[in-house]
Amino acid sequence: KMITDDNITTINWGSKSTVSSSDLTSAYSTSYIREWLNQEFLPTLYNYEDIIDTNAGWYSITDSNSTPTKPIGNYTLTDPVGLLNAYEYYMSYKNTSASSGYLNIGYMWWLITPYSSSNVQYVRSGGFLNITSPSSYSHGVRPSVNLKSTIELNGGSGTVSDPYRIK
């Protein structure tokens, strides 16, 4: 799984259609952000059909725990591009602090994880998780993709100055 190094855009997570507020998983399926990720951002990626798993599963399961838990069960959506969920973000700073985690970029950005029937989770500028209504604000978007299992790396250490290179 890969995520962009920075926010690519700022957009309202919101929904394009009327969806029951008791089902934010469905709300994401009809959201502006999902549409933008898969219709506007995806075609900008060079040769993506050869490297990205275009049938990747994304967990957009409600998680209102103070410590995010690993999603269990089937993926709720299948798309080439998605967002990290709260658990994946939490694991990025598990052995340090949210403010020191390697995914903390100092800006607010959306996660795919609903928190309740009326709120979704996002990362605050200090690196901590927070919640808001999906239609209240525009936050940053850091697209995430899953690489095909057949992808081979051709060097690089995975750092900013020496990124991985795909063979």
Where the chain has pLDDT below 70, the residues are: 15-27
pLDDT at 24: 55
Q: In the numeric block, which tokens belong to residue 68?
A: 């995010």
Given a contact cutoff of 8 angstroms between Cβ atoms, the answer to whether 53 and 63 are in contact is no
140-141-145 Cα angle (round to 5): 160
pLDDT at 16: 64
pLDDT at 21: 47
pLDDT at 36: 94
